[in-house]
A and B are shown apart, each in its own frame.
Chain A
């Protein structure tokens, strides 16, 4: 009898434990996502380390002052700050911080942490925290100092009037002073035990093949947070990630796909994707060289390019047309003065006959009889369009553009190179034609400023956006006016000037808008951002502060 009792008791214990253990695992809601491809996870949660950690750590673990909702600027969301005020003279920005906020180790967050973060960024220029610190030595940057007004108020002082500084400052991820003040070399600090204020801060099960970051018990997001942990599996290669999503092992991706209707959608009934138009892709011409220094030649190039083929075939139908030759595409179409831009729309239309006519009229004819057009001084025209060899859609694009130009008598060819060489070719200015993306940002200013800043056109330090090296002083003036006012109408007028000048001068040739990569599975979560409900930018990559709101708004599918 005793034996039987013991046996029953034992069986009972075994049954309950075996029932509890897996159930405990299932009860946790885990969102699995791959914002960054890597060969191995590194135990590094440093929010300002650009080699991977910030892709998984920012927004989810570290919180910015302000969460810009780029698609709905009127619906932006407070982060570590509750409100901001740009001074009337645009020479300072004051932030009111969120009261009763605690770092995940229990210490209080206050203005001292923000002041510390600025001073820290200033002291460690090799550890860029996204603050445009003013340097007296070089005259670069704009943020001069930060003052603590009271425990929950901080004021940033600017060197020159800048109504846009609040976008950059709102994007700072403040660091806890009590941790980082003792770190002398922040770039090399792996920050293995992150102390932050975001919704998920507790690292668990770290291995080189993945880890989880779990709920911050002190986070102010907790009331709305249905997700206990984020899981970051290590993967490298789109075949792996897409297969993992299809198998239900991953929920959220931001990977490039080829032919997604064939290679991706049929793999699982839960697979979904949406590719909203992202930043523009431009042909950058080296305007310090002939024949690119000739406006008529640049215009003829623009009409010689068959953009329908680029969009539909070269880039597999995944890119989007842009209407006007303004270099930025449709991302900022709320800033267009369509009536003023309409007269330039012809530059985006494919018309090889017109190109031939324009080239002939401008004097670009075949002088030496080799079948190709020559420069005005008789020297032959022959150039390569540089592309990183692995970037299939862009390689196809370069090929198509080269063929289009050959059709009108221009000896252009595709020149593929290793990615490292491609990146390296830019700063020295030793190139003819490149293909380049445009920067993102909250306003068109963030795209045009690097494109027309003369400081970034100096050989040796040419920026990716200013490779054309054509300074247009009126554009610089309009951009300065744009950032020194916070009046929307005045800004619209300034940007209209910029648009018109870009369209007139054709410093870059607009091709198409890149897709924004976004794939998700509805197997474990619903409530994803869709084309019908475009409430946030759905990218998973760093630089999309809204991604934390997107994650928090997901609804776990109840276990069957």
Chain B
């Protein structure tokens, strides 16, 4: 219990520190959101109008005053208004971007984790066999690719040249979003290439991780004993070895789910996918303070929550931590 409380205190401290960083980091960059808007008027604004615009974006007053205001609104869960997608509340844009990022990165993590781990189990069980010596190096190689190259190759081959898949977006413009089979099918069709591009560079990591832990466990006494008892191959493989080997995998999974809300910047750019990464990229370029802050906060919160959950899981699974 004391362990958990200590962790909790740490998380709350980290959160407040992050809130502060979120405020100052965007403001350390040169330029502010009003500069671009004023520039877009090509000199047709007079000074009174320029001042009024800056004031209405909250860009007047000392940094400290702005910080106090910001902190107050964060506590009220008010993330402000986006200056790029004006006057949309940042919260609603974050929710929108997060939804699509969850679809995209969530599907990719799910497939990469499941397929990668299963392949790892298989490769470890039959280590040195054809499957292992063929797929393990290939998966390791794929894992070393950068998402940019894979996404661009897939986009070029299957969207531009063969035209099997759409040129991006989350769904067709002609379909009105709803919980219908047609819409969900359309979303999955649009998500195929982006998900595949993340999947291809990440499942090798799960494969390798699973395989290595499995191989270590295979020489443990309890496995040898289980085999000696004459238990079925299948039972030993999944109930004895894989079940233990999956623990570190799950810790890693918790972390990658925490980082999930960072979005998949490159993939979202290439496939024009309306996820958080893409919004954040634009927001940084345009100094959309409230969006950058909101996104950083969301990311911090999700990483902290994922860590907390994995701590709790560890306490449950590992009796040594409870004393």
Contact = CB atoms under 8 A, between A and B. Distances in A.
Interface in A54-108: none
A190 B81 CA distance: 12
B30 A128 contact: no
B142 to A, nearest CB: 24
Contacts of B44: 128, 130, 132, 168
Contact of A420 (B29, B171, B176): B29
Interface stretch (A219-227, A237-245, A328-336, A525-533): A237-245
Contacts of B269: 237
Interface stretch (B46-54, B120-128, B194-202, B250-258): B46-54
A39 B279 contact: yes
A301 to B, nearest CB: 25
Given A132-B44, A209-B170, A240-B272, A420 B286 contact: yes
Contact of A40 (B47, B279, B286): B279
B152 to A, nearest CB: 10
A465 interface: yes
B13 interface: no
A475 interface: no
A444 interface: no
A244 B32 CA distance: 33
Question: Counting chain B CB atoms within 10 Å of each CB, which of A418, A420, A456 scores highest?
Answer: A420
A39 B277 CA distance: 11
B85 A52 contact: yes
Interface stretch (A1-9, A134-142, A374-382, A508-516): A134-142
Contact of A464 (B43, B51, B93, B170): B43
Interface in A195-228: 205, 207-210
Nearest to B283: A39
B48 A125 contact: yes
A140 B53 contact: no
A133 to B, nearest CB: 8
Interface in B65-102: 81, 83-88, 93, 96-97
Contacts of A237: 168, 269, 272
A425 B30 CA distance: 8
A180 to B, nearest CB: 16
A51 interface: yes
Contacts of A38: 85
A124 B53 CA distance: 10
Given A140-B48, A240-B167, A423 B43 contact: no
Nearest to A236: B272
Nearest to A450: B43
Given A207-B176, A208-B274, A464-B43, A126 B52 contact: yes
Given A44-B87, A210-B173, A420 B81 contact: no
Contact of B86 (A44, A236, A420, A456): A44
Contact of B41 (A128, A187, A421): A128
Given A39-B274, A138-B47, A52 B35 contact: no
A244 B167 contact: yes
B55 interface: yes
B274 A44 contact: no
A209 B41 contact: no
A271 to B, nearest CB: 14
Contacts of A456: 43
B47 A51 contact: no
Interface in B133-185: 159-160, 163, 167-171, 173, 176-177
Contacts of B167: 239-240, 243-244, 247
Given A207-B176, A421-B31, A439 B42 contact: yes
Given A40-B279, A52-B86, A132 B46 contact: yes
A256 interface: no
A456 B46 CA distance: 10
Contacts of B170: 209
A50 interface: yes
A261 B299 CA distance: 44
Nearest to B40: A50
A188 B278 contact: no
A11 B121 CA distance: 55
A42 B93 CA distance: 9
Nearest to A41: B85
Contacts of B51: 125
A49 interface: yes
B85 A51 contact: yes
Q: Is the interface of A mostly helix, strand, loop or mixed?
A: loop
Given A209-B274, A463-B43, A126 B169 contact: no
B46 A126 contact: no
Interface string A239-270: 11001100100000000000000000000000
B274 A40 contact: yes
A137 B173 contact: no
B168 A138 contact: no
Contacts of A233: 173
B226 interface: no
Contacts of B278: 39, 236
A190 B48 CA distance: 24
Interface string B204-230: 000000000000000000000000000
Nearest to B171: A209
B8 to A, nearest CB: 36
Nearest to B279: A39
B243 interface: no
A234 interface: yes
Interface in A129-183: 130, 132-133, 135, 137-138, 140-141, 168
A126 to B, nearest CB: 4
Contacts of A44: 86-88
Most buried by B among A137, A168, A189, A421: A421
B86 A49 contact: yes
B237 interface: no
Contacts of B5: none
B48 A420 contact: no
B85 A126 contact: no
Nearest to B36: A423
Nearest to A53: B86
Interface in A332-359: none
B282 interface: yes
Contacts of B56: 126, 187
B45 interface: yes
Contact of A50 (B35, B41, B286): B41
Contacts of A421: 29-31
Q: Considering residues B44, B50, B93, B171, which has the most beta carbons from chain A within 10 angstroms of its beta carbon?
A: B44
Nearest to B278: A39
Contact of B272 (A235, A425, A427, A464): A235
Contact of A424 (B30, B37, B49, B160): B30
B285 interface: yes
Given A38-B85, A40-B93, 20 more contacts: A39-B85, A39-B274, A39-B278, A39-B279, A50-B41, A126-B49, A128-B45, A132-B44, A138-B46, A207-B177, A236-B278, A237-B168, A244-B167, A419-B285, A420-B30, A420-B286, A439-B42, A455-B47, A461-B50, A464-B43
Interface of B: 29-32, 35-37, 39-53, 55-56, 81, 83-88, 93, 96-97, 159-160, 163, 167-171, 173, 176-177, 269, 272, 274, 278-279, 282, 285-287
15 contacts: A38-B85, A39-B84, A51-B37, A126-B52, A128-B45, A130-B44, A132-B44, A168-B44, A207-B176, A234-B274, A235-B272, A237-B168, A240-B272, A439-B42, A465-B43
What 10 A-B pairs are tightest by C-beta distance, nearest first? A420-B31, A424-B31, A126-B52, A450-B43, A140-B46, A125-B52, A421-B30, A210-B173, A51-B86, A126-B56
